[in-house]
Amino acid sequence: MESIGVLMTCPPFDPYLVEQLEKRFTLFKFHSIPDKAHFLNSNKASIRAVVGNASAGADAQLIHQLPNLEIVSSFSVGIDKIDLAKCRERGIRVTNTPDVLTDDVADLAIGLMLAVLRRLCPSDRYVRSGQWKRGDYKLTTKFTGKSVGIIGLGRIGLAIAKRAEAFSCPISYHTRAEKSDVKYKYYPSVVELAANCQILVVACALTEETRHIINREVINALGPKGVLINIGRGPHVDEPELVSALVEGRLGGAGLDVFQDEPNVPEELFGLENVVLLPHVGSGTMETRKEMADLVVGNLEAHFLNKPLLTPVL
C-alpha cells in the first residue's frame, strides 16, 4: 500500500498518527504545502484517500480536484468538515472515530461544570498570585443536585447524563424526537429545555439545523444563574450573543471547549471569572488519541484491502 497517496488536510499535530500513516502509505501533509493548487494539479492522480479532523476535512472543491479519491477518514467523531453529499454522489467512503472518545469528552463536560461553578481556575490563580495570604477566596456555587439539560442524547450526551446522575443531578434533554428508551425528561424545544435547567450542555452534531442552536432566546431562557457548557462545535453557539450575555450578566457562566473561529477566541471573555476556556481538547488524552489514530489507519487499511470498514459513515 506504500504507493497509495494519502492527503492529510489537517495540521499534522499527532505524531503517532503521522508515523502510522507514513509506515503504510505515501503521506502528503497539505497544511505545510505553500502552493496548494500546483501541488494538487501535480499529484491529484495518486491521491486515493484524505485524512482530516474536526477543523479540516474534504469540502466539495477539494473532492472535485481529486478524481481518484476513494475514502475520507476523519480523525474525529464530527464530520461537518466533509461534504457528505458530494461523497455520496461520487461513491466515496467516509469514516470517523466514534465511541473511543466518548469517555474523555463526557469527563471534560463534567470537569467544565465543576470548574465554572466552583471557580477552580480563578481559585488556582488566587493561590499562585499570593492573594490567599491576604484572605480567603470568596464562596462559590454547589454542583451536586443542579439540574442538567442536554442538547443531543447520543453516545456523548448519554455518557454526560450518567456522570451527572452520580452528582444527583436531575437530567432533561432535547433531541429531534423523543427517545422511548430513556427515563429522562424530554423537552420539544431548546428554549423550553433551557428554561427548565440550571446547566445546559451542547452535545449534538453540527448540522445546518443545529448551527446557532444556542441563540439570544435560548441564552435568556437559561438566565443570569444558568451555565452553558459547549463540548460540541463552536458554530452551535451564536458567539457574539454569548459574549454580550456574559459581559452584561444575562448568563451566569460558561465552560467552552470549542469556538466559532478556532483558534481565535473573543478577547472579551478573557477577564471573566465565570468563564472557563479550553483549546478544543475534548478528546485530548494520549490514550484516546492513540485509539483514534488506530481507527483512522484501520479504516484505510480495511478499504484498500477490500475488507469491511471499522466505523463507516458512508
Catalytic residues: 233, 262, 280
- Gap between the Cα atoms of 176 and 243, Å rounded: 27
